[in-house]
Structure 1
Amino acid sequence: SLKEVVELYGQSGFDAIAITDHLLDSRSLLKEKEKYGKHSSIEPDRYADYRRELRDAAHYAMETYNMLLLPGIELTNDTRKFHILAIDNTDALNPDLEVEDILQDIRNQGGISVACHPAVRNHSGAAPSEYLWSNMDRFSTMFDSWEVANRDDLFNSIGLKKFPYLANSDFHEERHFSSWKTLLRCTKNIEAVKEAIRKNDAVSIFLHRGGCIK
């Protein structure tokens, strides 16, 4: 549950987390419903409820653990093969749009855009963002950041390209807590975190294997 995630990271001493549930493109959402009778996506008409839940969780995280919770969404287009994180966007976004249009919408809302797992994932061999990988040079400066590592995977190509970067848990279940993380040098507020990611001149990553970090 959302509260359990907050408890896990808060009790472990983290200063900030982002919650970015999946929002599937319409075709993939329909296919999942037809195949499984359920789906792994936020329903588009439930987006306002989702944001309210995140606001409540953010208040609890700050009051209980002095931990920031940045609201967001993972725009998951499994039809065209791209995953894009929007962090601290204000309104609903549409994963059916072209990548350039999605990035402009995120920017217009004051959010941060992250190209998710742009290379082949070592642990699974999957390439869910193959479209971003194939068009890496075209999109290089359009994203605020590129995912250089998640879970146990390290995407060397992003480091070699010198793209602005971050690392994250890609947290779906508790075992993903032991994973790559990002260390930012900035004050503890959402605008400062976003600016640190954008500037990318005081960013480090580390491989966390559990336990309290403070």
Structure 2
Amino acid sequence: MAKEVNLMRGLNDEDWLLCDFHIHTSLSDGKIPLREVVDLYGEHGFDAISITDHILDRYTLEERIKNGEPINVIKEEDFKDYLKLLWDEAKRAWEKYNMLLIPGVEVTNNHDFYHILVIDVKEYIDPTLLVEEIVKRAKEQNALVIAAHPDKKKQDQVHHSWHLWKNQEKFRDLFDAWEVANRDDLFNSIGVKKYNYIANSDFHEPRHIYSWKTLIKAEKNTEALKEAIRNNEYVAIYLMRGKLNDN
């Protein structure tokens, strides 16, 4: 499968890494378990991924509990266990697929409308905090900080990152990168302003593996990938097409 993906890239240089840094599992609101997600990406020849299950602001969390709705997030008290699961799967992903798995999280504030990806996360960050404080705490962990789907996606009724979209100029240099593409959507508001960018699947179910991705020319290690995205050098977006065998 890796050879097939390399041909799909249309690139001869093997140094380009196929990456996806926005992936959800059944640990939050994804449809399939962590191990199956890792196997799916490994079997499709990916070089680097980040699992970014949701953590949620306390107001929305309290509302879901009050209304008897599914929580579908990683609670603060379970966060260390979540990281341990990711590190265990990271070891397996490397040994079985030579695929880098970077622990991440989607800091989700549905009360004030901003979603922030933190890649290479090491400690819990309260999603109820202001954007600037979330970014500050993430960078204190030497994590990569990405503005998630900062424009409205076609299929969404609510603009989940409306606050980031409204304050693009204010936040433009706060983030290491902005999603210029998410699943099947391209965000012209990010592209035309030439912000640092990446593209991700916002994966929730198997068919989402065929969507926008990022290609990065860098060494296959966490620090090299983070540095490449921060510098936005040798970073390209790529629309991966295909069909799952069981669809």
What secondary structure does 2:59 align onto? helix
Within a 5 Å distance, the mapping from 1:171-210 to structure 2 comes to 171-210=203-242
Match of 1:158 in 2: 190
Structure 2 alignment gaps of length 5 or more: 1-32
Secondary structure in 2 matching 1:181: strand
Q: Which residue of 1 aligns with 2:85?
A: 53
Q: Distance in 2 between matches of 1:73 and 1:188?
A: 20
How far apart are residue 210 of structure 1 and its match?
3.0
**C-alpha spacing 1:68/1:25, structure 2 compared with 1 (3 Å):** same
Equivalenced residues, count: 212
Residue 54 of structure 2 aligns with which residue?
22
Q: What is the distance in 2 between the residues matched to 1:170 and 1:34?
A: 28
1:101-180 correspondence to structure 2 within 5 Å: 101-180=133-212
Structure 2 counterpart SS, 1:28: helix
After superposition, the C-alpha distances for 1:143-162 in whole angstroms (9 at most, x for unaligned) are 00000001101101101011
Asked whether the equivalents of residues 123 and 152 of structure 1 are also in contact (C-alpha less than 8 Å), the reply is no
2 CA distance for matches of 1:33 and 1:58? 32
For the residues of structure 2 that align with 1:16 and 1:32, how far apart are their CA atoms?
Answer: 33
Give the CA deviation at 1:38.
Answer: 2.4
CA RMSD of aligned residues (A): 1.2
In the TM superposition, what is the alpha-carbon distance from 1:31 to its structure 2 partner? Answer: 1.2
Q: Unmatched 5+ residue regions in structure 1?
A: none
Residues in 2 aligned to 1:98 and 1:159: alpha-carbon distance in whole angstroms: 25
2:240, 2:65 → 1: CA distance? Answer: 36
Provide runs of 4+ in structure 1 moved above 4 Å: none
CA distance in 2, matches of 1:153, 1:125: 15
Which is bigger in relative contact order (C-alpha 8 A, separation at least 6)?
Answer: 2
Question: Which residues of 2 match residues 7-18 of structure 1 at below 5 A?
Answer: 7-18=39-50
Name the SS for the 2:116 alignment partner: strand
Distance in structure 2 (CA, Å) of the matches to 1:112 and 1:181: 17
**Any conservation in 1 of the 2:148–2:178 contact (CA below 8 Å)?**
yes
Instruction: Please give the TM-score of this superposition, normalised by the length of structure 1.
Output: 0.96
Shift of 1:177: 1.1
Aligned residues with identical type, % of pairs: 49
Question: Residue 207 of structure 2 contacts residue 243 of structure 2 at CA under 8 Å; is this kept in 1?
Answer: no
SS at match of 2:181: strand
Alignment partner, residue 116 of structure 2: 84
Say whether the 8 Å CA contact 1:123–1:153 is kept in structure 2: no
Structure 2 residue matching 1:124: 3-state secondary structure = coil
Q: Larger deviation: 26-35 or 42-51?
A: 26-35
